[in-house]
Structure 1
Amino acid sequence: MTDSKLWLTAQGLPSTIYAGQTVSVIDPSTDNASPYLHPSYLQQNLALHVGDDARQVQRNRFHLLKALQPFGATQLHWLSQTHSTIAHRIDSTVNTQLLEGDGLVTSEQGVALMMMTADCLPIVLCNQDGTEVACLHAGWRGLARGIIEATVKQMWSQPYFAWMGAAISQQHFEVGAEVKATFVQENADFENDFLMQKNGKFLADLYSIARKKLTALGVENVSGGEHCTFAEPDKFYSYRRNSTTGRMATFIFIRAKDVKLDATI
């Protein structure tokens, strides 16, 4: 995985595909001069729904689009995320209404599919030849309800690659017995993804659960999942760590034609 100033870049995908996840702090040693910045949202909050100044968020989104354009992005496609199993297939048409859901699929070049997270698990998918991509938001509710399966169902081709962005790790993700029961009722193999604590609660491994679901769907190459949003405050927002916080964005797109692949930020 390669770090840029603004994001972590997913590796191992077809050359026609570009994907990554933004970070929360561009340069921890400096303070932005913008009068709109609030310390809870740091430098790169991309969410309009968390209490940050909307003008600053829009600036951040515009800055991100401009930074991604040399890599082949022509537009950013956002959702109103609701921990659902709703996935949309989109084309290059600019939508004036914000759709609700937690999964996006496209075969259009340049359309960057965007998912915001701050502990939940973001996943990007693409087929073997890099002509179709998907992006989804999978917290424990979304995983349990089937957002991975619902998003794959919207794809016209078999997903071959998956990359998992930063989420909260098992060490820091405590859940109740009812959460464990929800997964184990679906598949007894998920029993191994929960570690019991002395207080009767469990530590849940979102990465492992997602890998098992992706494998069951025939996704042969699954990478990522080595970061923890809670434990890495220098890079990531975490709702469990700081309830008032911003959101990163995980993105994937099929590079538009005539893009210089050696573009840098």
Structure 2
Amino acid sequence: MATEADFLFPVWDRPATVRAAISLRTGGFSTAPFASFNLGDHVGDRPERVARNRAQLQEVLALPNAPCWLHQVHGTRIVKVPEAPAHGWSPPEADGAVSTCPGVVLGILSADCLPVLACSRDGQCIGAFHAGWRGLLAGVLEQGIAAMGIAAKEILVYLGPSIGPRRYEVGAELRAAFLAQDPRTEPFFAAVTAESDAQPGKTPNGDRFWADLPGLARYRLMALGVASVEASGLCTAEDATRFFSYRRDGQTGRMASLIWKEVGA
């Protein structure tokens, strides 16, 4: 059974009326390879176990409503949630959501991609965005910040656990795509130079790089004018005890990153 010990509670410069939590992989009902607190209903886990895990999520965190999950597709669509769904929620195809309604719980599922939580300085608007490399490159954060409808300087952002800059090995073509958009992103790619550093079965030959996903996200957010960006500094691929990691394990579960406004705020 999950307890508060099976969650991270992000600390960043946010108003007290905005709440946030990130689930760990521990404390749930799923079995290998989804052990145990898998919240993803699209990864091959038994639906009844996912349902039990999601019920636990809502109970332990005392959520005002069930999370508004998304059908994430590594795109840039952002949906606005005007009110807490009264009769259930059918996940739309999107990679971000924003809301100004108290009691609406926004949720992002991840297992290496970067979950991004955001709120306005006055606590009136919240956002949650799913940022893998495809979404970052396509502009999901730019779309998300714009959808919040307020000045970027008034937005406070938290970057959750994701694959870290010494575990995310990518090819030269991905690096080139980012540099083609903005040559100033070059420092976020470090060449893989040692045989011991390369992924199994890969040999360093000048075309493999470590990508700093949180660093790229921070850079793009600050380029928009977001002045406050805090990061967890936690790598999902390095910590198999606490985090699911698709890059590490292949078939695996998903953690949830949630943000909501307290009812009455």
TM-score in terms of structure 1 length: 0.89
In 2, are the aligned partners of 1:20 and 1:165 still within 8 Å (CA)? no
* 1:79-111 alpha-carbon deviations (Å, 9 max, x no partner): 000000100011224254320010100001111
Could you tell me which runs of 5 or more consecutive residues in structure 2 were left unpaired when the two chains were aligned. Answer: 193-203
* 1:32-73 alpha-carbon deviations (Å, 9 max, x no partner): 7x5xx322111210001111010010111111112222xx53
Give the Cα separation in 2 of the matches to 1:141 and 1:176: 14
Residue number in structure 2 paired with 1:130: 123
In 1, are the aligned partners of 2:4 and 2:60 still within 8 Å (CA)? no
Could you tell me which runs of 5 or more consecutive residues in structure 1 were left unpaired when the two chains were aligned. Answer: 27-31, 259-265
Asked if residue 91 in structure 1 is aligned to residue 86 in structure 2, the reply is: no
Identity rate of aligned residues, in percent? 34
**3-state DSSP of counterpart to 1:41:** coil
In 1, are the aligned partners of 2:68 and 2:91 still within 8 Å (CA)? no
RMSD (Å) for aligned C-alpha atoms = 1.6
**3-state DSSP of counterpart to 1:76:** coil
Give the Cα separation in 2 of the matches to 1:108 and 1:75: 14
In 2, are the aligned partners of 1:207 and 1:225 still within 8 Å (CA)? no
Residue number in structure 2 paired with 1:214: 221
Residue number in structure 2 paired with 1:196: 191
The residue correspondences of 1:1-265 to structure 2 (distance < 5 A) are 4-12=4-12, 13-26=14-27, 37-69=30-62, 73-94=64-85, 96-158=89-151, 159-197=154-192, 198-199=204-205, 200-257=207-264
**3-state DSSP of counterpart to 2:43:** coil
TM-score in terms of structure 2 length: 0.89
**3-state DSSP of counterpart to 1:14:** coil
Give the Cα separation in 1 of the matches to 2:84 and 2:121: 25
Aligned partner letter, 2:32 = P
In 1, are the aligned partners of 2:115 and 2:159 still within 8 Å (CA)? yes
* 1:98-137 alpha-carbon deviations (Å, 9 max, x no partner): 2001010000111110000000000001111111000000
In 2, are the aligned partners of 1:75 and 1:110 still within 8 Å (CA)? no
Give the Cα separation in 2 of the matches to 1:19 and 1:93: 17
* 1:187-241 alpha-carbon deviations (Å, 9 max, x no partner): 1111110011233211100011001111111111111231000001111000011
